[in-house]
Structure 1
């Protein structure tokens, strides 16, 4: 006879409520680790998919993602002449608000160097890739746009010709892809107030047009992407370009490291801290539940000892009950995660290794909770059954 199962079925309502309580705590742990995984994947989307070996950015800057960057508009032609370079593309990315359907929305505009790069590396869900025409855009579905919609960016009207899915930046804003020349125009456009302030600051200088930049630079190109010849030595190509003095050349691995260990470092620490707190709370809750269940069975435990039951019978009773609570809570947490997480505004990514680590952590929590109950049960004497 399985005493733990018998005792659990004796009070099923309490067991179910306890399992759901543990499930919500475990689901919070899964959600926080999955949220971090999702943020990391979103932050690395462009770096991983754009297929670049080197990133040529502004000198003494860690751009274009971890820090602002602007290179000369003709930097791609300079890079093209370096031995070992097979292909170059210009790149720009910046946040932009736009009005659509009577409401203001926020997106991240990404410049694609058409026709050198038509965006075929994008996971297109509907429509087509960018062509050679101006004023075309491919938008992510999270922006609420659809193929055929028309939006106004920098006083120009852009037609949505394609849709992607799950292409967002590290802040969760959907990406809008346009040609690099269109991106430069959008980035240079200033409001009337900006023009007025610039005129006031430059009193006595000629008037500036609406397309002029308030930044002391003519280019809005953030970086030049380089693909190397298969036979080229990356170190030699980097050294050749860095001798120019006005650029910094980074590999894709360095860009990834900057994103993870610079821009997302504090977020990683915060999520780790909150995950640890939730695990501690889970341990306390499960321990209190198991301890309370043990207190309620002290008379039965004393009777078992009076009948000659060995200590391992009591240990098995309490340990199995803690295991039942943990297993039921974990299974319910997985099921609830599948139902609830797709409704979140940010992507939650769960991978088997994370689920395995959470299961191991929950097993340790249940073992600690069982030890608390076993420690109390071990102090029960068979004589107490007569009291």
Structure 2
């Protein structure tokens, strides 16, 4: 039966190549959409992990510090730090803005400000974290280099550090400031903060404040992208259906072409089950070949994305595994014709 499959695919190689290429293109797009979706989710986890800490103290009437602009007194961190169950507490300010001085026009950025020497301990690719007013560390996606001068809200800052993968909201690069600089820009100089990041477990919170764990903070950061990630998931499903339809059409056409061959094999005593295996195997081979070519194509296209998208080994394995399932389901479209084939028709032309 394997020889029959090989000869059949050799005889119809043009159709096979066309089907594999069409399937590969669809699955490459499917792979990239899945990788993009995973990138958004990983970005959220990476951002929350950047701050460290065990809990965040935020206003009780807000969803979280990333989606709400309801500041708290920065001195709350001092009160929390005095509690027995708290090791350290750091006030942080989080807001979106735009910088000038890198290329032409403005560059949108996510601003993260903190008090140095506390819970937040940035890991940089080059240079150091800002430790004084007028200093900043920026993600490499801003295009800034060490020693560059950028302008934020009319204030000039010197780049003293470069970070990698420090993005939020679907690829918006982040920059670091000291809390004092951020308070001047975002709060008119008032001693306010978006939240307090706490290492430890506070026993008593000031009135109007609640504690959120990192999972809740991640949910707050991820919520603005929920529509996008949901849409990407729907598109993935639709493209899998399209891929199955392509492979299924090829399998069905092949079953039509082999109708006479099937009747002859049945007349010679070949069981229907063995013929069914050939039909299913052709669908699986087509889908797997399409997935393999699609995987290579997807990896080649990754650098075209404006954000850091990576195709993981897990995604590659899942793609190939789903391709096997899709190939079997698509190949099953031709099974009915195999089962209904009448061996007597093999001799119809001899009458």
TM-score by length of 2: 0.90
Offset at residue 185 of structure 1 (A): 1.9
Offset at residue 115 of structure 1 (A): 4.2
More displaced 10-residue stretch of structure 1: 4-13 or 88-97 = 4-13
Question: Following superposition of structure 1 onto structure 2, how do residues 113-262 of structure 1 map, counting pairs within 5 Å?
Answer: 113-116=115-118, 120-122=121-123, 124-126=124-126, 128-188=127-187, 211=188, 218-228=190-200, 234=201, 237-238=202-203, 240-241=204-205, 244-260=206-222, 262=223
Residues 58-99 of structure 1, C-alpha deviations (whole Å, 9 max, x = no match): 232222124333111322222222221111111111111122
Alpha-carbon distance in structure 2 between the residues aligned to 1:151 and 1:263 = 28
Instruction: Tell me, yes or no, if the aligned pair for 2:81 and 2:89 is still in contact at 8 Å.
Output: yes
SS of 1:378's partner is: helix
- Cα RMSD after superposing both structures: 2.2
Instruction: Tell me, yes or no, if the aligned pair for 1:5 and 1:321 is still in contact at 8 Å.
Output: no
Offset at residue 57 of structure 1 (A): 1.1
Question: Following superposition of structure 1 onto structure 2, how do residues 1-387 of structure 1 map, counting pairs within 5 Å?
Answer: 2-100=3-101, 101-116=103-118, 120-122=121-123, 124-126=124-126, 128-188=127-187, 211=188, 218-228=190-200, 234=201, 237-238=202-203, 240-241=204-205, 244-260=206-222, 262-385=223-346, 386-387=348-349
How many pairs align? 346
Alpha-carbon distance in structure 1 between the residues aligned to 2:285 and 2:322 = 15
Query: In the superposition, relative to structure 1, how do residues 381 and 281 fare at CA in structure 2: closer, same or farther (>3 Å)?
Result: same
Alpha-carbon distance in structure 2 between the residues aligned to 1:82 and 1:107 = 35
Offset at residue 112 of structure 1 (A): 2.6
Instruction: Tell me, yes or no, if the aligned pair for 2:47 and 2:167 is still in contact at 8 Å.
Output: no
Offset at residue 258 of structure 1 (A): 4.0
Residues 127-149 of structure 1, C-alpha deviations (whole Å, 9 max, x = no match): x1125332111111111111121
Alpha-carbon distance in structure 1 between the residues aligned to 2:316 and 2:69 = 37
Offset at residue 264 of structure 1 (A): 4.3
Alpha-carbon distance in structure 2 between the residues aligned to 1:49 and 1:133 = 20
Residues 116-137 of structure 1, C-alpha deviations (whole Å, 9 max, x = no match): 46x6432x222x1125332111
Offset at residue 263 of structure 1 (A): 4.2
Alpha-carbon distance in structure 2 between the residues aligned to 1:99 and 1:89 = 29
Alpha-carbon distance in structure 1 between the residues aligned to 2:68 and 2:130 = 30
Residues 171-207 of structure 1, C-alpha deviations (whole Å, 9 max, x = no match): 310011111111222224xxxxxxxxxxxxxxxxxxx
Alpha-carbon distance in structure 2 between the residues aligned to 1:49 and 1:104 = 25
Alpha-carbon distance in structure 1 between the residues aligned to 2:274 and 2:297 = 34
Q: Which runs of 5+ in 2 are unaligned?
A: none
Offset at residue 359 of structure 1 (A): 3.2
Instruction: Tell me, yes or no, if the aligned pair for 1:91 and 1:112 is still in contact at 8 Å.
Output: yes
Alpha-carbon distance in structure 1 between the residues aligned to 2:278 and 2:267 = 16
Offset at residue 226 of structure 1 (A): 0.8
SS of 2:167's partner is: coil
Alpha-carbon distance in structure 1 between the residues aligned to 2:265 and 2:37 = 49
Alpha-carbon distance in structure 2 between the residues aligned to 1:247 and 1:298 = 74
Instruction: Tell me, yes or no, if the aligned pair for 2:292 and 2:320 is still in contact at 8 Å.
Output: no
Alpha-carbon distance in structure 2 between the residues aligned to 1:342 and 1:352 = 17
Alpha-carbon distance in structure 2 between the residues aligned to 1:99 and 1:263 = 26
Offset at residue 34 of structure 1 (A): 1.5
Alpha-carbon distance in structure 2 between the residues aligned to 1:141 and 1:333 = 30
Q: Which runs of 5+ in 1 are unaligned?
A: 189-210, 213-217, 229-233
Instruction: Tell me, yes or no, if the aligned pair for 1:136 and 1:158 is still in contact at 8 Å.
Output: yes
